């Protein structure tokens, strides 16, 4: 009965992603043996990932670090910096120019011991106000993508961005973060990954992919899809950013194929 409900839910969310018509759930064992799903016939994953119990952390001796430079960010993020102190350090950070226009830093949201880590580019207008990643229509689409996988925001998943403060252009509109802004902020994400230790990372868009893989900014997303990369030893899959999918819904089927590849790579550490 539960599986039937999960299947119905997954179909509903796939339809919400624009991936109609309704598909039928295949045998999960068959799914597990299939590394990729053809984009035109996506199949929902109904296995809900297990949550892990976060380890106890002693933060009694730790204090947030304020007024740091980009170089200091890297030096300060030691292996014993706890999640709580890291979060407070980001909230007080002034290591790059993006601190000047922010209302709130956007640290991330979800399970601190998530199996799935989704990484986007940076906060936009609404995220800057709310302090949460992926709100608004792009966030709704990401939630539908998670639900189609049998996942839920905050349960076995973590959502973060490459930069924690909103980048804007001269007109106050959203823009991608620059290379120096990414370099300044990336150590925070790297520390988050070290603490979370996810089983798979999904890079949502080019900015996240090139930042985590250390690639040239000229690298097209199309060249990075359909293969399993590794961030350190962790499998990393590249797919389209939800905001792009809203502009180009025809590519949602490709995004679903990417998510299926990510599912098949879960826990497939290169270590
Ligand atoms: S974007 Fe990152 S490095 Fe720059 S001020 Fe915000 S938290 Fe600090």
Which residue has its alpha carbon closest to ligand 1 atom 6? 165
How far does residue 242's CA lie from ligand 1's centre (Å)?
23
Contact (CB, 8 A) for 162 and 121 = yes
What's the CA-to-centroid distance between 99 and ligand 1, angstroms?
Answer: 6
Task: Name the 3-class secondary structure at 202.
Answer: strand
Ligand 1 atom nearest the C-alpha of 184 is 3
Whether the CB-CB separation of 177 and 197 falls below 8 Å is answered with: no
Model-level pTM greater than 0.85? no
164 Cα–ligand 1 center, Å = 6
pLDDT at 221: 81
Report residue 228 CA to chain centroid gap: 16
Locate the ligand 1 atom nearest the alpha carbon of residue 167 and give its number: 1
Query: Over the stretch 6-40, which tens digit does the pLDDT of each residue have?
Result: 555 555 555 655 555 433 334 444 334 433 333 33
Give the span between the Cα atoms of 78 and 76, in whole angstroms. Answer: 6
Integer CA distances (angstroms), 17 to 39, 232, 254, 256, 269, in order: 13, 31, 12, 9, 29
- Nearest residue by C-alpha to atom 3 in ligand 1: 185
Ligand 1 first shell, C-beta below 6 A: 90, 93-96, 98-99, 105, 163-165, 181, 184-185
Question: 164 with 87: CB under 8 angstroms?
Answer: no
N-terminal to C-terminal alpha carbon distance within the chain = 38
Could you tell me where the DSSP H helices lie in the chain?
Answer: 2-16, 28-32, 70-76, 83-91, 125-130, 136-148, 179-196, 206-213, 221-224, 242-247, 252-265
Angle, to 10 degrees, between the axis of helix 136-148 and the axis of helix 2-16?
140
Q: What residues does 237 pair with on adjacent strands?
A: 202
Distance 239 CA to ligand 1 centre (A): 25
DSSP secondary structure letters along 29-76: HHHHT-S---TTS-----PPPPP-PPPP---TT-----S--HHHHHHH
- pLDDT value at residue 143: 97
Mutate to test the pocket of ligand 1, among 65, 184, 186 (most ligand atoms within 8 A of CB): 184
CA dihedral sign of residues 17, 21, 26, 31: negative
Q: Which ligand 1 atom is nearest residue 68's CA?
A: 8
pLDDT of residue 22: 38
The pLDDT assigned to 146 comes to 97
User: Which portions of the chain are predicted below pLDDT 50?
Assistant: 1-5, 21-60
Helices (H), ranges, 58-135: 70-76, 83-91, 125-130
pLDDT at 268: 74
pLDDT, residue 27, reads 44
Contacts of residue 203, defined as CB under 8 A and 6 or more positions apart, other chains included, come to: 119, 209, 212, 213, 224, 236, 237, 238, 239
Say how far apart CA 175 and CA 259 lie, in whole Å.
26
Q: What is the pLDDT of residue 79?
A: 75
Distance 17 CA to ligand 1 centre (A): 32
C-alpha to C-alpha distance for 163 and 182, rounded to whole angstroms: 6
Does residue 40 contact residue 251 with C-beta atoms inside 8 Å?
no
Domains detected in the chain: 64-265 (3.40.470.10)
């Amino acid at each position: 009965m539960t599986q039937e409900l999960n299947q119905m839910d997954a179909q509903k969310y796939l339809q919400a992603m624009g991936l109609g018509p309704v598909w039928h759930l295949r045998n999960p064992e068959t799914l597990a043996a299939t590394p990729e799903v053809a984009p035109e016939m996506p199949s929902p994953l109904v296995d809900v990932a297990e949550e892990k119990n976060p380890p106890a952390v002693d933060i009694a001796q730790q204090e947030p670090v304020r007024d740091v430079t980009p170089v200091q960010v890297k030096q300060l993020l030691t292996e014993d910096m706890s999640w709580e102190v890291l979060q407070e350090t980001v909230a007080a950070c002034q290591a790059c120019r993006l601190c000047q226009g922010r209302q709130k830093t956007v640290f991330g949201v979800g399970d601190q011991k998530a199996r799935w880590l989704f990484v986007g580019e940076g906060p936009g207008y609404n995220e800057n106000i709310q302090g949460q990643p992926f709100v608004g229509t792009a966030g709704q689409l990401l939630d539908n993508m998670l639900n189609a996988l049998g996942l839920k925001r905050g349960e076995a998943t973590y959502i973060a961005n490459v930069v924690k403060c909103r980048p804007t252009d001269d007109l106050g509109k959203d823009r991608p973060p620059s290379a120096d802004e990414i370099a300044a902020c990336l150590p925070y994400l790297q520390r988050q990954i070290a603490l979370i230790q996810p089983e798979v990372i999904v890079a949502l868009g080019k900015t996240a992919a090139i930042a985590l893989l250390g690639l040239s900014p000229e690298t097209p997303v199309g060249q990075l899809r359909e293969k399993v990369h590794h961030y350190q030893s962790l499998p990393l899959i590249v797919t389209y950013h939800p905001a792009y999918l809203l502009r180009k819904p025809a590519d949602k089927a490709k995004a679903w194929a990417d998510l299926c590849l990510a599912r098949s790579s879960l826990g497939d550490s290169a270590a």
